[in-house]
Structure 1
Amino acid sequence: MHKMLIGGSLSAGSRTMDVIDPCTGQGFDQVPDATADDVDAAVAAARAAFPAWRDCGFGKREAVLKEMADAIMANIEELADLLIAETGRPRDLAMFELAHLATGYLNYYGSLRIEPELIVEDDTRRVELHRKPLGVVAAIVPWNAPVFIACNKIAPAMAAGNTVVVKTAPSTPLTTLRLGEILADIVPPGVLNILSGGNDAGATLVAHEDVAKVTFTGSSETGRKIMAACAPTLKRVTLELGGNDAAIVLPDADIQQVAAPIFAFSFFNSGQVCAVIKRLYVHDSLYDAMCDTLATMAKGSKLASGTDADAQFGPVQNKAQYDKVCRYLEQAKRDGKVIAGGEIGDRPGYFVPLTVVRDVAEGHAIVDEEPFGPILPVIRYSDIDDVVERANASPFALGGSVWGSDVAAAAKVAARLESGSVWVNQHCALDPAVPFPANRQSGFGVEGGIEGLYPYLALQTLNIAKPQAG
C-alpha cells in the first residue's frame, strides 16, 4: 500500500480506502484515508517548513523543482503503469500527462524569477513593490488528470516560496502518492505534503486556520462550497471549475483538415477535461459533411483498457461520473439524433462509447450543461453574429475555439468570444508559459504563465523616505 507524505516521512495512516479499477468496477488496491489528525499534521509540517523555504531563494527552489521533474522522468514507466491502472486511459495519454504536462510545469515555474519593482524614485523617497509568499497552500486535485493538475499547483506554489499540502481525489490517489514517496528524499521535509482521502479530509484541509490559500480544480458546485468554507478566514482562492467550451466551424473551413483535430479535442481523455470541446457549432453549408465525418471517426475508434496496446480511448473514471454520463446519454437520445455510439452494452467497468449527436440545440441538457464524458452535440447555425451570441450565452466561460481557412477572419470571430482562453484552429492548447484564466462560473483566478505565479504571492509596498538636507 502506498503511503502519504507528511513532514518528510511516509505515513500509512490509521484507516484505509479502496481504489476502484474503472475498467472492471472492482477494487484492486487500498490507500490511506486521511483523518483530521493527518490533515493537522500535514499543515503543521508545512507551516514549520515555510520560513526556511521562503528564505532559501529562487536558485534553491529552482534546483528542487527541476530535480522533481527529473525524478518523474526517471520513474516514468512505473508512474505510467499506476496512472493507467487508476484511470484506465491509454498509455500514450498517461505518458503525455507525465512527460509533457507535469514535468513541463515544474521546469517552467522553477525557471521564473520575481524581483522587486521600482515604482517611484525621486529626491524624497524610494518606493518598491515586493511580492512575498503567503504560507501554507492547500491544493485540492481532481481525478481526471491527477498528476498534471497536482504539479500545476505544486510548481507555482513552491516556486513562489510557499509550502504545500496536496489532497488527491478519492478515486485517483495512487500515482500521486507514489510520486510523493519518490520525492521524499528530494524535497525538504514539510515543503510538500501529499494526503489521500475522502471529501471529509478535503473539507478539513480547506477550512484549516493555518492554510493561507486554497487552489482547487473541479466542479463548479464544489467550488462554491470551497469559497464558502474559505470565507471565515478570508483565505485566498483560485478556482478552475467546469466548462462548456464552444467550437465554431466557419463556412470556409476545410472539413478534411479540421475534422480530425476537432474530433481529437472533443474526445481527448474520453471527454473528461474541463477545456475540451463540449459544443460544436457548424455552419449550414458544412453541417451534414461534418456530422458524417465525425460519426465515422467515432465508430472507428477503439475503446478499451489502457493495458490494451491498441486502445485509443478509455473508460469514464468513476461510477458516480459514469452514472451521470449515462443520464446525459439517455437525454441525448430523446433530444437529438445519435449518429455514433449511444449504446452502453453489457461489458464490465465504466465504458461509454464515443457518441456524436446531431439535430440538437440550446434548451437541451446535452448542449446547455457539461456531461464531462464522451458525448459531442453538433449544432447547426447560419449566421455568424447569431452563433457568437449563442456560444457566449453559457454561464461557463473557460475555453472556446474558431475554425476556418481564413485565419485572420477566424481570429476576429474568436476575439468576440468571452471565454478565458480562445483558440483558432486548435483547442485546449495548454502551455505552462501561457496564462489559462477562468471566467464566469468556470471560476476565477488564473493558472499558467507568470500571471499564474502571482496568486501565490502577496503584494507589499516598501516606501522609504530619504534624508533631507537642513
Structure 2
Amino acid sequence: MAQKPVDDGQRTAIIRYVPPGVEVGIVPWNFPLTLGIGKLIPELLAGNTSIWRPSPFTPYSALKLAEIGSKIFPPGVFQALSGEDNPGPWLTEHPGVSKVSFTGSIETGKNVMAACATSIKRVTLELGGNDAAVIRDDVDIEAVVGNVAFLAFVHCGEICMNIKRIYVHEKTYDQFLSKMVEHIRSFKMGDHTDPEAFFGPIQNEIQYEKLKTFYSKISTEGWNVALGGKPEDVDSKGFYIPATIIQNPPDNSSIITDEPFGPIVPVLKWSEEHDVIERVNSSKYGLGASVWSNNVPKARRIAEQLEAGSIWVNTNFEFAPNVPFGGHKQSGLGMEWGEEGLKGWCNSPAYWIKHLLRSNSVSVK
C-alpha cells in the first residue's frame, strides 16, 4: 500500500504498510473457495505468504487451488495444509505465524483467539450471524416476499449472512406469512443431479444432527409451525431436512437467541419501531441486518440504529471487494475486504522526520 505522510509544518510522520510475514487463513466448509480467496488476495497483495487451513469437510478445493497456485507463485508463497483437527491448533499457536484470519462459529472463534493470545499474534474473526430482516408495513408484499424467502433459505440456510429472523409489522403479518409459506412450498428438494432443485442435503452429518435438535424443540418449546417441522417426513436418502417456518415464537426461545444454520426460520410480529429495533439489537450476534420498506428515509432511520457490520435497505447479501466486511459483537473482530481489510494484513510503522532547523533557531531537546 502507498505510504501516507502526515505533516504539521515542523515534522513529518510517514506511515508505511509493510507485510508481517507468514499469515494463515482458516476457511469454513460452506464457501471454501469464495471465502478463502477473499483472504488470499489481500494477503498476497500486502506482500505476505499465505497458508490455507481448509475445513476437514472440504479439503480438496483448497488443495486444488494450491496446486494451481504452485504454477503461478514462487515456492512457499501459497500453501494449503489439510487434515483433521490438529493443523488448526498447530498454526494458531505457532510463533512463526504473524496473523490468523478465521471464518467459522463463535465457539471455534473463541478457541482460535485464545490460541493466538499465547504469542500475541493478530487475529481477524468472522463468526456466526443471526441476521434480522425488518419488514415495514408499507412494503409491496408481492415484490418483497420472494427476495426475503430466497435470502432466508438459499443454500439450505447454511450461510452466515442468511436472513435468520424475520420481523414483520403486525398490519401485514398474516398476509406476508401466507405469501412466504406459498413461496417456500414452490422450492423443490433434490440432489445435485436435479437442475430444478433448490434445497439439497445438509452439508455434513454433524451439522445435520445439530439442526435436528432445533427441530426437536418445536414440541419441547411449544413453537407454532407455519410450514414443515418434521424431519422424518422427508422421504429421501441423505441429510435432507424440510424447510420450516416458525410462527411468532417468544423472543427468549432458542430459535431467536441461537443460530440454527439451516432451513428453519422464525417470522415474528412487531408494532412499534423502537421496540423492533431493541429486539433486533438484543442478540449477541451482529453480522448483518436488513430493512425493507417503500419509504427509504424511514427505512434508513431504522437501519442506522441497528447493530451489525453490514446493514442493507431493500436488499441483503450485497458485497464488493472494495467495501469492508465483518461482524460486530460476538459475530467477529476486525474487518476483511476494502482498504480497511487490506490494512489488517499489514504492519503500519510510523517514521518521524524532523525538518532541518535554521542556524538562528533554538531547538529544545
Moved more, 341-350 or 145-154: 341-350
Q: Does 1:410 align with 2:299?
A: yes
Q: Does 1:250 align with 2:136?
A: yes
Q: Does 1:450 align with 2:336?
A: no
Moved more, 392-401 or 356-365: 356-365
Higher helix share: 1
Native 8 Å contact 2:154 2:198 kept in 1:
no
* TM-score, normalised relative to structure 1: 0.74
Query: Which of 185, 202, 218 is the aligned partner of 2:71?
Result: 185
Which digits, 9 at most, give the CA deviation of each residue in 1:15-63, with x for residues without a partner?
Answer: xxxxxxxxxxxxxxxxxxxxxxxxxxxxxxxxxxxxxxxxxxxxxxxxx
Partner Cα separation in structure 2 for residue 238 and residue 232 of structure 1: 16
SS in 2 for 1:323: helix
Question: Counterpart in 2 of 1:465?
Answer: 354
Q: Does 1:216 align with 2:102?
A: yes
Question: Counterpart in 2 of 1:323?
Answer: 209
Partner Cα separation in structure 1 for residue 253 and residue 68 of structure 2: 47
Counterparts of 1:66-465 in structure 2, within 5 Å, are: 114-120=1-7, 122=9, 124-333=10-219, 334-344=221-231, 345-465=234-354
Which digits, 9 at most, give the CA deviation of each residue in 1:335-360, with x for residues without a partner?
Answer: 32222222222422111121111131
Q: 1:441 corresponds to which letter in structure 2?
A: Q
* TM-score, normalised relative to structure 2: 0.95
Q: 1:119 corresponds to which letter in structure 2?
A: V
SS in 1 for 2:237: coil
Q: 1:427 corresponds to which letter in structure 2?
A: N
Deviation at residue 190 of structure 1 after TM alignment: 0.7
Q: 2:165 corresponds to which letter in structure 1?
A: R
Partner Cα separation in structure 2 for residue 332 and residue 155 of structure 1: 43
Counterparts of 1:11-90 in structure 2, within 5 Å, are: none
Deviation at residue 293 of structure 1 after TM alignment: 1.1
Deviation at residue 465 of structure 1 after TM alignment: 3.0
Native 8 Å contact 2:28 2:55 kept in 1:
yes
SS in 2 for 1:377: strand
Question: Counterpart in 1 of 2:362?
Answer: none
Q: 1:293 corresponds to which letter in structure 2?
A: K
Partner Cα separation in structure 2 for residue 382 and residue 350 of structure 1: 38
Native 8 Å contact 1:303 1:311 kept in 2:
yes
Native 8 Å contact 1:241 1:442 kept in 2:
yes
SS in 1 for 2:194: coil
Partner Cα separation in structure 1 for residue 280 and residue 356 of structure 2: 60
Q: 1:161 corresponds to which letter in structure 2?
A: G
Q: 1:460 corresponds to which letter in structure 2?
A: P
Deviation at residue 182 of structure 1 after TM alignment: 2.0
Question: Counterpart in 2 of 1:64?
Answer: none
Partner Cα separation in structure 2 for residue 125 and residue 436 of structure 1: 35
Q: 2:89 corresponds to which letter in structure 1?
A: A
Native 8 Å contact 1:301 1:312 kept in 2:
yes
Could you tell me which runs of 5 or more consecutive residues in structure 2 were left unpaired when the two chains were aligned.
360-365
Could you tell me which runs of 5 or more consecutive residues in structure 1 were left unpaired when the two chains were aligned.
1-113
Deviation at residue 233 of structure 1 after TM alignment: 0.6
Native 8 Å contact 1:296 1:340 kept in 2:
no
Question: Counterpart in 2 of 1:57?
Answer: none
Q: 2:277 corresponds to which letter in structure 1?
A: V
Q: 2:59 corresponds to which letter in structure 1?
A: P
Deviation at residue 121 of structure 1 after TM alignment: 5.6
SS in 1 for 2:320: coil
Partner Cα separation in structure 2 for residue 419 and residue 449 of structure 1: 17
Partner Cα separation in structure 1 for residue 299 and residue 278 of structure 2: 16
